[in-house]
Amino acid sequence: MSPTLPPPRVRWVIWAALTGSILLYFLLVRSGSLGAAAPGTGGTAAAGASLALILTAIGVVNALASMAIRVVVKSVRDPQGRPVTPAWTFPAFMVALALAESAAVFGFILGQKGEDPKSMMLLFGIAFAAMLANNPASFFAKVGNDD
């Protein structure tokens, strides 16, 4: 029995909204409209470096985990070895998108704290790459003329 999935258009709208939020976070930090601290004023150098390192590490791990979820979903097979769509595909898709977007949230936090722009840009780039990797066309198996 095939799982009940939202229509492809709904999956694309969800994906586009979350991918667009990465751009929104980036634009908010770059414009300084939320009263971000000036670069280099994020506290003591040691505390700032450790926060940037911790959030960057967590962001990278989350982005890699989001892409690993897609690999797991795509590797599910029936006893005859044919690809199948598990019932938990859509929840897995949502978790993968949330993990991918979390890297951008960490970049936003670093930007608001006035940390080094390199670490912030790295996190936005990683989040965007993970979102591109987890787009609905690559996450869900095509069924007929579905996608």
pLDDT digits (tens, 9 = 90+) for 18-66: 999 999 999 999 887 665 555 555 555 555 568 889 999 999 999 999 9
What is the predicted pLDDT for the residue at 77?
Answer: 87
Question: In this structure, are residues 70 and 88 in contact, taking their beta carbons and an 8 Å threshold?
Answer: no
Indicate whether this model's pTM tops 0.85: no
Tokens (6 digits) for 69: 């979820």
pLDDT at res. 101: 97
DSSP tag of 42: S
Q: Note the pLDDT of residue 38.
A: 56
Best CA proximity match to 139, nearest among 73, 86, 65, 76: 73
Give the pLDDT score at 115. Answer: 86
Task: Compare 79 and 65 and report the one with higher pLDDT.
Answer: 65
Answer whether residue 88 shows pLDDT above 70: yes
Band of residue 145 on the pLDDT scale cut at 50, 70, 90: very low
pLDDT value at position 146? Answer: 44
Mean pLDDT of the chain: 85
Q: Which of 70, 36, 59 is nearest to 125 (CA)?
A: 59
Three-state SS at 86: coil
